Structure 1
Amino acid sequence: MKTLLMLGGAALALAATPAMAQDDTDRAGSVQFKVLGTAVLPDGAITDVNVDLVGLPANTQTEANNNFVPTIAIEYFLTDNVSIETIAGTTQHDVDAVSGLPGAELVSDALLLPATVTAKYHFDLGGVKPYVGGGVAYFMWLSDKPGAATIPLGVTDTDLSDEFGFALQAGFDVPLGDNGFGLTFDAKRYFIDTTARWFAGNTLAIETEHKLDPWVLSAGVAYRF
């Protein structure tokens, strides 16, 4: 919340800066740059157990923790109402058991790069510019470590698979004057899975399928030029 308030204050300060006037309805060919505070709220539930050499309790279930990170977005307007957007940022998560082995940390410090490209359609409602969109995503795990609860079991390595998926998106922009500055609010829902593998030396001890399907909620400031 503190981050969002600071970003909002920055937008108001920037909007007061003199700049060349810009017609907000004439967006074709322009670029919009956004600085955002983002909440990443994943699921992380097990959907299938493919390999289990350690005898997990039958009701074992997991979840991934939430994270709050800074992100940036770059958007190009193909027409006044249609744009293409991509985001940049990484987010780090742990995966813990919530039943069967409640509280057990299974994956530690999993660093995710959620490469995403969406197409958006913008509506003009005067002071507010809502939009809807959708696109493709590729989740790349840059690093991950065995959770603290798995090391006593002999686990030496953990691997989360990179996967393709898709995302739906909705939000709105609020111009602040005619200088290209504004506030922006965005919500994405991803639909994407990953396969988690735990190794003891060269032996695959556990392999599970997980539903990630995170909500990604962002708010911040924007500048279009």
Structure 2
Amino acid sequence: MKKILLIAGIVLFSFTVNAQDEKQNNQEKQEKVNDFSRWKVRLRGVSVVPNESAEIGVIGGDIDISNAFIPELDFTYFFTKNFAAELILGTAKHDVKAVNTAAGDVDLGSVYLLPPTLMAQYHFYPTENKIFQPYIGAGVNYTLFYNVKSGAVADVSYDNAVGYGFQIGFDLMLSDKFFINIDAKRLFLNTDVTVDASNLAPGLSIPAKVDIDPYLIGFGVGMNF
């Protein structure tokens, strides 16, 4: 009888130890999974500064596109602690004119740009406390041109186009959940433009290839969840 009780005690002790080890292992695995937040959301104020140039047919000259200041919203999903994808959403209104042409400066009105951009990112953690979290990114966008006002000409049309961009920035953690963000991007955007200037000269249509290539400098706040 004593032998049976001793064997039962050993089995029960082994089971208890194994259960505790399994529980500890599961906790450690969960801690590893929870070592980073899967999602970040940021709201930024962004200065959009075009680095524009153009090849304008018929009348020659160049293009001038105004700067803009816009709100920008982005969502970031982390596949791992270091690798993430960021979807950037924002739209900007720009005034446009042709300059130094054979007809002088020509007001081409205004246009809104909507370039939703998807960036692949790599995040760094150079400090042990992970307060300073820099990142770099590269990705693609598809630029939509809408709500066009034609200015001094009869009409202006812009072709939607695919572009690409690069990004560098950092998050500065205020707590485990909230942070401030500074971010700089360079987008490479170009479009084919057709200017209907038939109101200035009968049948006059002016083609142009326009590079917009803006810098986007942003400051904002964000949250992990």
**TM-score clears 0.5:** yes
How far is the alpha carbon of 1:45 from its aligned partner?
A: 1.3
2:186 aligns with: 189
User: Between Structure 1 and Structure 2, which shows a larger proportion of helix residues?
Assistant: 2
- Matched ranges for 1:6-21 at <5 A: none
- The 1-side partners of 2:81 and 2:47 are apart by 29
> Contact (CA 8 Å) 1:197, 1:204: kept in 2 or not?
no
- The 2-side partners of 1:162 and 1:98 are apart by 23
1:114 aligns with: 115
- The 2-side partners of 1:34 and 1:44 are apart by 28
- Matched ranges for 1:15-54 at <5 A: 26-27=35-36, 30-46=38-54, 48-49=55-56, 51-52=57-58
> Contact (CA 8 Å) 2:87, 2:118: kept in 1 or not?
yes
2:137 aligns with: 133
- CA deviations on 1:161-202 (whole Å, 9 max, x unpaired) are 111010011100101122x10001111111121111112389
Unmatched segments (≥5 aa) in structure 1: 1-21
- Matched ranges for 1:1-225 at <5 A: 26-27=35-36, 30-46=38-54, 48-49=55-56, 51-52=57-58, 56=59, 58=60, 60-100=61-101, 104-126=105-127, 127-147=131-151, 151=152, 155-178=153-176, 180-199=177-196, 200=198, 203=203, 205-225=205-225
**Number of residues paired by the alignment?**
188
How far is the alpha carbon of 1:160 from its aligned partner?
A: 1.1
How far is the alpha carbon of 1:203 from its aligned partner?
A: 4.8
Is the partner of 1:79 in helix, strand or coil?
coil
The alignment's TM-score, normalised by the length of structure 2, stands at: 0.76
> Contact (CA 8 Å) 1:120, 1:133: kept in 2 or not?
yes
Unmatched segments (≥5 aa) in structure 2: 1-30
The alignment's TM-score, normalised by the length of structure 1, stands at: 0.76
> Contact (CA 8 Å) 2:98, 2:108: kept in 1 or not?
no
**Identical counterparts, % of pairs:** 32
- Corresponding letter in the other structure for 1:192: L
> Contact (CA 8 Å) 1:44, 1:95: kept in 2 or not?
no
CA 37–102 in structure 1, closer or farther in 2 if over 3 Å, else same: farther
- The 1-side partners of 2:160 and 2:72 are apart by 20
Higher relative contact order (CA 8 A, sep 6+): 1
- The 2-side partners of 1:41 and 1:211 are apart by 13
